[in-house]
Amino acid sequence: MSDYVIKTQDLTKLYAGDKGCREITLHVPRGVVYGFLGPNGAGKSTFVRTLLGLIRPTSGTASVLGHPISSVASRQQVGYLPELFRYPDWMTGMQLLKFHADLCKVPRTEQKARIYHLLERVGLHQRGEEKIRGYSKGMQQRIGLACALISDPALVFLDEPTSALDPIGRKEVRELISDLRAEGKTVFLNSHLLSEVENVCDHVAIINKGRLVVQGDWRELRTVQAQVEVTISDVEDEWWASLSDLVTGWKRLGRWDGKSAWLLTLSEASQIPALVAALTSRQMDVYQVTPKQQNLEELFMYWINKKEGAEHVDNR
């Protein structure tokens, strides 16, 4: 069995010649939560719909769970919650899940227990008999999650799954996603809400303007910049130029009582001891030195800006 549940090679889907996604090559490991990130309009949903066989690629190849995306077999163990969905509002939540269970060929003998279990799992166990027309937007998001899970899929695509939920609902969905990973399932999470993704994702891919920017374990990716917060004797911005062999960027965080706090960017994290030595050799009082871990939003902006900066240079 392959260690990858999704593999693509130069997968491209274009609309009107330029919109969509271009030449995306990625590998999604089995049993992880994989965050597919990008600004609105970056091509995320187009890529997902192409993987699901809902639209045909312009070029390139891809497989899902070991089967070509053009095949029915590639979708038989897949659950999907689209970003924009509409369900028949005259149905009750239970009737909708029963309908999806029939579509997914869930054995009739298992359907009732599975439906009750899923309603409880998404927080609708007391609302299953109500018609969907009476559901709030958040409740509709929850019933959509249940529909995506009704077939007990090995791979689940979630397109902006927390966009309509309140803080409590978002926390519950994060916990559900973590539970799915613990069960050995793979979750492909399509989102622009980076703070939500940061709490659950193992791997990420960042897409911008239809093209893949970077992919990998996001906790390893965030080491691309070594940053440290320091509090020292007060100095002006220009002073840091004297340490340009160590410090590649600086930003003042605050100033008080003859002290100043700074966020410094170094070439490598291994240079922190040399930085401290350089400060003390210049008779600086060093009050605090704290290595800084970048969060996912900072990582995202770093790679987006780096890519756009490279494109600007190439297009001169």
How confident is the model over 188-204, as pLDDT tens digits?
998 777 777 788 888 98
Confidence (pLDDT) at 228: 82
**CA 185 from centroid of its chain's CA atoms:** 16
pLDDT digits (tens, 9 = 90+) for 107-139: 999 999 999 999 999 889 889 899 999 988 888
Question: How do 203-208 and 33-37 pair as beta strands?
Answer: parallel
CA distance 218 to 33: 11
Q: Which of 97-101, 118-122, 138-142 has the lowest mean pLDDT?
A: 138-142
Residue 160 is classified by DSSP as S
CA distance 307 to 16: 24
H or E element at residue 191:
strand 186-191
Confidence (pLDDT) at 268: 75
CA distance 255 to 91: 61
Q: Which domains does the chain have, with CATH numbers?
A: 4-221 (3.40.50.300), 226-292 (3.30.70.3100)
Residues 78 and 156 sit within 8 Å (Cβ to Cβ): yes
CA distance 105 to 221: 41
pLDDT digits (tens, 9 = 90+) for 2-11: 689 999 999 9
pLDDT band at 316 (very low <50, low <70, confident <90, very high): very low
Q: Which residues contact 8 (CB under 8 A, 6 or more apart)?
A: 24, 25, 26, 27, 51, 60, 61, 62, 63
Confidence (pLDDT) at 313: 39
Confidence (pLDDT) at 314: 45
Q: Which residues contact 105 (CB under 8 A, 6 or more apart)?
A: none
Q: Is the pLDDT of residue 1 over 60?
A: no
| pTM as predicted | 0.79
